[in-house]
Amino acid sequence: MSRDIIIRRAKASDAQDLLGIYAPYVRETAITFEYTVPSLKEFSERINKTLTKYPFLVAVHEAQILGYAYASAFKNRAAYDWAVETTIYVKQDNRQSGVGKKLYQNLEAVLKKQNICNLYACIAYPNPGSIGFHEHLGFQTIGHFSKCGYKFETWYDMVWMEKIIGEHGANPKSVIPITELEA
């Protein structure tokens, strides 16, 4: 199926479908530490805010959205401009189908064009599926925080994983906002 998957930029009209993918993760898992499913308006605003600087991609198969991935600021200080946090969610019945890998490969390609150097993933722990997925894509665990997230009457650890995708020379090229890259 992964050959038939089209990766494209998210649109405002995708918000309902994307929220439908995200909601079960909020309600049923500790994969996200969010407690309450955001409103459609709030979720749509998140998409639009992301798209002012970073890519927000969706995977589509036969007109159905199967997953999404996006980047966001790692930290809100100028010195961190070349580092981003990555996020991915795939419909639960489409996990391990190649959708996630294709999304991340496309996300990484766009981020390289933007002159991003470092990718970071923040993952609730334990979560062998997500950790294995990121390791398969070249990420390495760089940090482990103990009992820092509380959900479903359980304390969860968190790990940070990193992947270097760019050169770290003197005078790095400026990061190109996605809006300029697409123009």
Asked if the model's pLDDT at residue 95 lies above 70, the reply is no
Secondary structure (3-state) at 162:
strand
**What's the pLDDT tens digit per position in 48-66?**
999 999 999 999 999 999 9
Asked if the model's pLDDT at residue 106 lies above 60, the reply is yes
Produce one character per residue of 23-50: b if its CB has 16 or more CB atoms within 10 Å, e if not: eebbeeebbbeeeebbeeeebbebbeeb
Domain positions in the chain are 2-182
Q: What CATH number has the domain spanning 2-182?
A: 3.40.630.30
Provide the token pair at 103. Answer: 């999304």
Average pLDDT over residues 64-74: 96
Average pLDDT over residues 119-129: 95
Average pLDDT over residues 80-109: 90
Strand ranges (DSSP E) for the chain?
6-9, 56-61, 64-73, 83-90, 118-125, 140-151, 154-164
**What's the pLDDT tens digit per position in 131-159?**
999 999 999 999 999 999 999 999 999 99
What confidence score (pLDDT) does residue 98 get? Answer: 79
